[in-house]
């Protein structure tokens, strides 16, 4: 029996902050240009740290993209322009609807490349990412370098005024190098509220 080849799949690039997820996403898209493949790039509207009209990596590599506030917009824009490949950056900031959007696009024959943080600053699964990882055909987990000990880092350390954040601080707090560091599991710290209060009090008294 002859098996007909069918296109369409999901690739997920994940890891901590500063692991190079967006850079890897942009690298894959750049290769598509040599193959003369068309693509569209999307990111959540909440991520406007570097640009509102571009997807930008921490090392300032950039590519034009669409800011999206509702995941359904992706399907409408893709239907209109019909690219070969759909790329989505910072997927952790979308709602669970992004999972259905990615599956719909893959079922339509699109190559879907998704990049995002797999865990939040607490070290717990972040937003829709675990569901995307479960449904992806291909998964790439990148490692950063721990800024404390230099070992491979898979976690994101949130710092508030230079101190480890409390477990109960908000999950979404857009920042850059001043607010976050890459850490290994041994150097990663998440303080309970009473620990954070004591830590802050000691730091204040010593300043």
Q: Which residues are catalytic?
A: 90
Q: Cβ contacts of residue 153 below 8 Å, gap of 6+?
A: 16, 18, 19, 143, 144, 145, 146, 147, 182, 183, 184
Q: Please list the alpha-helical segments (H only) found in 15-155.
A: 21-34, 72-81, 97-107, 129-135
Output 45-48 pairs: Cβ under 8 A, ≥24 positions apart: 45/69, 46/93, 46/172, 46/174, 47/89, 47/90, 47/93, 47/174, 48/174
């Amino acid at each position: 029996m002859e098996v007909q080849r069918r296109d369409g799949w999901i690739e997920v690039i994940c890891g901590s902050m500063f692991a190079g997820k967006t850079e890897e996403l942009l690298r894959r898209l750049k290769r598509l240009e040599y193959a003369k493949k068309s693509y569209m790039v999307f990111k959540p509207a909440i991520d406007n740290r570097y640009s509102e009209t571009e997807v930008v990596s921490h090392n300032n590599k950039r590519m034009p993209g669409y800011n999206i506030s509702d995941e359904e917009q992706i399907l409408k824009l893709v239907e209109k322009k019909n690219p070969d490949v759909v790329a989505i950056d910072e997927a952790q900031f979308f709602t669970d609807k992004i999972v259905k959007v990615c599956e719909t696009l893959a079922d339509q024959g699109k190559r879907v490349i998704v990049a995002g943080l797999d865990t939040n600053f607490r070290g717990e699964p972040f937003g829709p990412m675990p569901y995307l990882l479960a449904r992806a055909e291909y998964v790439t987990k990148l490692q950063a370098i721990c800024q404390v000990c230099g070992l491979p880092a898979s976690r994101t350390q949130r710092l508030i005024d230079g101190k480890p954040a409390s477990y109960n601080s908000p999950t979404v707090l857009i920042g850059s190098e001043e607010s976050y560091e890459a850490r290994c599991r041994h150097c990663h710290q998440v303080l309970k509220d009473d620990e954070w209060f004591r830590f802050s009090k000691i730091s204040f008294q010593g300043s």
